[in-house]
Structure 1
Amino acid sequence: MPQSGPRAALGTSMVRAAMLAENTPGRLIVFDTGGTAAGADAAARAAMKRKVAMILGPLLAEEVAPVAAVAGASVPVLAFSNDPGARAPGAFTMGITARQTTGAILRYARSRGVRRVAVIADGSRWAVAAAEAAAGLQGELNLDVRRIDVAAGQPLPAAGDAPDAVLIPGGGDPVMAAARNLKTTGIQLLGTVQALDHRPASLSVLEGAWLASPDPAAFAAFSSAFEARMGGEAGIIAAIAYDAAAITKTLRGKNALDRAGLLAEPSFETATGPLRFREDGSVARDMAIVVAGPDGYAKVATSRGA
């Protein structure tokens, strides 16, 4: 994990989350990547000299290949990147991907009668990946998906451009603006985990929106434990580090702390919801479908194996 450099604060939060799951002294050894590919390579080499059974991390997509190359076939790598392209031999990508959340919310929307969806892509990596995932699901879900590219800072298209639903893959101001524009149109707002916002003013604006997210109950339990033990608030990325450490602890208890052990488990119950590892290095996740309301997010369904 990065313990120095521009992402040191995030790295420290993730290390603390991992230690919350695995608090036996000596079980977790932290190596600083500095947030660079070269630093990750050096950290992996140092880890292998300590004869580790599994590597948790690295954080960034560009760090995964160097770490996986050093680890080889004998030591699995649970990378925290959400870039599917970061998969490498021996490495699994545990980050929550745009494809996972987009597939989950579109499957739910289709089950509720949504047929035509406009996806607003603002040029960000996440939004582009979500738009591509939505387009790829058209045949499978019998959806009509239209991509609308909007430059950052430009106004959103009129609500009438989306007959049934509008999917805003990102978060922040674009989601708030779309929610306000769609409030009285009868057009359903769809969102991904990026749009989760627990501020009362935001919840009021988002009321009625459907979003795909990690299971809120499981995450709330982790978040409360993190705040009580470590202080401060924990985000989704920190929860993924907690999950990785909890998974290794489970496998150690079964004397199966290796790739075969990871693949043999039908499901791991984690702070971000049930997940399982696939042979190709991807992770299948159960995603919660939540509806925003003035008092928070209510879970209404589960999308399995995204």
Structure 2
Amino acid sequence: MALLLPLTGDHAALGLSMQRAAALAESDAALMQVIDTGGTAPGAAAAAAEAIKRKAAMIFGPLTADEARAAAATVAGRVPVIAFTNDAAVAATGAWVFGLTPRQSTSAVLRYARSRGVKSVVVLGDASPWSSAASAAAQALQGELGIDVRAITVTPGQPLPGAGDPPDAVLATGSGEGVLAAARNLKDTGVQLLATLQALDHRPSALEALQGAWIAAPDPKAFGEFSSTFEAKVGGAPGALAALAYDAAGIGRSLRADHKLDRAGLLATDSFACVTGAVRFRADGSCARELAIVVAGPAGYESVATSRGA
């Protein structure tokens, strides 16, 4: 197996964190060869070529969408490429999109909301790439879930666009103060606040504002256990990308143990247990990921359900 990461360049610190996280799941360097991409598309192409030269049976990485496209073009389908990007368009290159995607989080929270009786949702977007993709995912799920979705974009400093009749729920797809403002405005209105993992905020003031909201995110217990191990053995707090690298190494180890380290083995496995949520790989390059539905409380986030995101 090969792990393609930016060990030099602008994202070197992130790449090193991911390398160390992967080493927690696969400590044998001979079994998980780490190759530097430099954080660029040409570097990723060169790293992919080197992985093929070394006869890697599977490639995990690279990090960004541009790097993933370059690596996939170089590999040309000879071995699976499981990229860490969350850009769904990368699946068209033949690489798998392993990152936590807007569609996964949006699908998970809307499926849960529908199971709780929600039939109409207003989606609040802030025009960021994540928010725009989440809004598009929500609208695409209307027919499948039997839910009415109206999307509006909130522009800082501008009046809030009219949303029509009060919905059963509001889905805030952004992050930061925009989500917190929506949470405060919905208090005591009877309208349920929904949010994607971008809304996670561990500040006491944010936890208070978000209390009662349903948020789709990796299970806090599993992520907390990984985080504690990382802090104890590596030092510092890991982010979601470090967790993805840890999960990738675990997937590779599992497939190798079953002598299925290839595309067929990847697709035949119904579910891989991951810190970022149990994952199933699809032939079209996408992944189905189980996410927790978490609710904020004074001590942090607590999981109340599990929902599979598209």
Distance, in Å, in 1 between the alignment partners of 2:207 and 2:29 is 41
Q: Deviation digits for residues 36-79 of structure 1, max 9, x if unmatched?
A: 21111111112222221211101111111221122232311110
Residue 122 of structure 1, CA deviation: 1.0
2:215 to 211, 218, 224: 211
Counterpart of 1:163 in structure 2 is 167
1:82 to 70, 81, 86: 86
Question: Within 5 Å, which residues of 2 pair with 1:25-64?
Answer: 25-64=29-68
Counterpart of 1:23 in structure 2 is 27
Counterpart of 2:247 in structure 1 is 243
Distance, in Å, in 2 between the alignment partners of 1:26 and 1:183 is 55
Structure 1 segments, 4+ long, off by >4 Å, are 152-162
Q: Determine whether 1:222 maps to 2:243.
A: no
CA contact (8 A) 2:154 2:160 kept: yes
Counterpart of 2:106 in structure 1 is 102
CA contact (8 A) 2:37 2:44 kept: yes
2:299 to 287, 291, 295: 295
Counterpart of 1:182 in structure 2 is 186
Distance, in Å, in 2 between the alignment partners of 1:61 and 1:152 is 28
CA contact (8 A) 1:138 1:144 kept: yes
Q: Deviation digits for residues 65-103 of structure 1, max 9, x if unmatched?
A: 221122232311110011110114542110111111111
CA contact (8 A) 1:275 1:305 kept: no
Distance, in Å, in 2 between the alignment partners of 1:19 and 1:151 is 43
Q: Determine whether 1:66 maps to 2:66.
A: no
Q: 1:71 to 1:169 in 2, by over 3 A?
A: same
Structure 2: segments with no counterpart, 5+ residues: none
Counterpart of 1:256 in structure 2 is 260
SS at match of 2:150: strand
1:2 to 6, 9, 27: 6
* Identical counterparts, % of pairs: 61
Q: 1:298 to 1:33 in 2, by over 3 A?
A: same
Counterpart of 1:151 in structure 2 is 155
CA contact (8 A) 1:159 1:187 kept: no
SS at match of 2:294: strand
Structure 1: segments with no counterpart, 5+ residues: none
Distance, in Å, in 2 between the alignment partners of 1:105 and 1:128 is 16
Residue 113 of structure 1, CA deviation: 1.7
Q: TM-score, normalised by structure 1?
A: 0.94
Distance, in Å, in 2 between the alignment partners of 1:39 and 1:162 is 51
Letter paired with 1:175: V
Say which is worse superposed, 240-249 or 68-77, in terms of deviation.
Answer: 68-77
Distance, in Å, in 2 between the alignment partners of 1:130 and 1:158 is 20
Equivalenced residue count is 306
Letter paired with 2:17: S
Residue 156 of structure 1, CA deviation: 4.8
CA contact (8 A) 2:153 2:161 kept: no
Residue 290 of structure 1, CA deviation: 1.1
Distance, in Å, in 2 between the alignment partners of 1:165 and 1:267 is 31
Letter paired with 1:96: L
2:123 to 96, 115, 119: 119
Residue 305 of structure 1, CA deviation: 5.3
Residue 163 of structure 1, CA deviation: 2.6
Distance, in Å, in 1 between the alignment partners of 2:94 and 2:290 is 23
Q: Determine whether 1:11 maps to 2:15.
A: yes
SS at match of 1:27: coil
